[in-house]
Amino acid sequence: MRIPKRLLLLGAAGALAARRALRAPYDLTGKAVLITGGSRGLGLALAQEFLARGARVTLMARTEADLKRAQAGLKAGERVSIVTGNVAVPADAARAVQATVQAHGRLDVLVNNAGIIQLGPVANATEEDFRTAMEVNAFGPLRLIRAALPHLRGGGRVLIVSSLGGKVAIPHLTPYVMSKFASAGLGQALRAELAPEGVAVTTVLPGLMRTGSPLNAPVKGQPRKEYALFATLAASPLVSLDAHEAARRVVNALVRGDVEAMIGGPALILRTAQALAPQLTADLLRLGHRALPGPGPSDAMVEGRAVESALTRANPIKRSAEEEFNQRGAHGHAPGGDLN
């Protein structure tokens, strides 16, 4: 069947108009933004960045004390509201959207930031570890997007915070990697499917950031060794990005309407290497895996803070990030997605 040339031209013009609308710079002034995992880490840095650009924000997290401390620290009055909830619980997703609309009269931007990272060899990971990661890191964004979509149609934005681990399979992060590959795929698929409804979806893929989050990360295998390595790397300016700079780049990607954005130089280098030379990159990751601690005798999981050494505890960059990004008040959380 031949398609009339006029119809083809109209279709092309419509597609171009939609592309321009989704790529047009997005003014955040007065916009209402819901940030999951917003009480600490990258979520808190993103809240600061959105507020600086004139937006109003609602922070969602599981622990009220963390939320209240974050709200007080932001010093933005009624421009900041809070709602407790777990992205792994469907009813909490709907409640967070409703709370945002109630507080600000609208919802324009959904930031899916809540996430959980589990450290340790796959030999010590259980099926439940994989399910937990998927519930928070993959199904969490899906639940929030579905709940928020009625408010976002016709000009809203969705941000999915995936990870370098959503493009490159980093050893000793296997449940996390599996879930972040899923979230990156979700973002790519929804970018196409929600475009006709006027919703632009941006997926960002950060590498290591100095947010202080290792303190609260679940660790398995040989926990003390695993934590010491991860906490040291995450605090090193050589391989990790300042959290405020990361937040600035993330929000810039949203404002530009980017499809995807790698956040951080080392992350971009590793992703590019994998795309251009996948076999070589896989060989290098295999060699890197050999230098990591081996499996432990137990599958028990502990928080990073429980296995701190005097050396990691004394790291001034690490401690500064933990204090600035509200990590030290988060003791005793069950897995549920506030670790970015």
Q: What share of the chain is helix, strand, coil (3-state, %, to 5)?
A: 55, 15, 30
What confidence score (pLDDT) does residue 329 get? 82
68 occurs within a structural domain: yes
Amino acid found at 101: V
Rounded mean pLDDT, 320-325: 97
102 occurs within a structural domain: yes
What is the C-alpha to C-alpha distance for residues 56 and 29, in angstroms, rounded to an integer?
A: 8
299 occurs within a structural domain: no
107 occurs within a structural domain: yes
Distance of CA 129 to the CA centre of its chain: 18
CATH number at residue 280: 3.40.50.720
What is the C-alpha to C-alpha distance for residues 43 and 49, in angstroms, rounded to an integer?
A: 10
6 occurs within a structural domain: no
More reliable by pLDDT, 323 or 7: 323
Identify the active-site residue in 50, 139, 176, 325: 176
Cα-flanking dihedrals φ and ψ of residue 241, to 5°? -105, 140
In the chain, the number of structural domains is 1
Tell me which residue of 185, 135, 195 sits closest to 162, measured CA to CA.
185
What is the C-alpha to C-alpha distance for residues 244 and 48, in angstroms, rounded to an integer?
A: 9
Contacts for 238 with CB less than 8 Å, ≥ 6 apart = none
224 occurs within a structural domain: no
Active site residue 227: no
Residue 279 pLDDT > 60: yes
pLDDT tens by residue, 16-30: 554 555 567 899 999
What confidence score (pLDDT) does residue 278 get? 95
Cβ contact 68:62 at 8 Å: no
Residue 12 pLDDT > 90: no
What confidence score (pLDDT) does residue 19 get? 54
Residue 61 pLDDT > 80: yes
330 occurs within a structural domain: no
Can you tell me whether residue 242 is helix, strand or coil?
A: strand
- Mean of per-residue pLDDT scores for the chain: 93
State the number of CA atoms in the 13 A half-sphere of 58 facing the CB.
26
Residue 336 pLDDT > 90: no
Domain that holds residue 256: 25-215+231-292+314-324
State the number of CA atoms in the 13 A half-sphere of 222 facing the CB.
8
Can you tell me whether residue 161 is helix, strand or coil?
A: strand
Residue 6 pLDDT > 80: no
Tell me which residue of 312, 133, 122 sits closest to 225, measured CA to CA.
312
Contacts for 133 with CB less than 8 Å, ≥ 6 apart = 116, 118, 175, 176, 178, 179
275 occurs within a structural domain: yes
What is the C-alpha to C-alpha distance for residues 100 and 64, in angstroms, rounded to an integer?
A: 16
Cβ contact 336:62 at 8 Å: yes
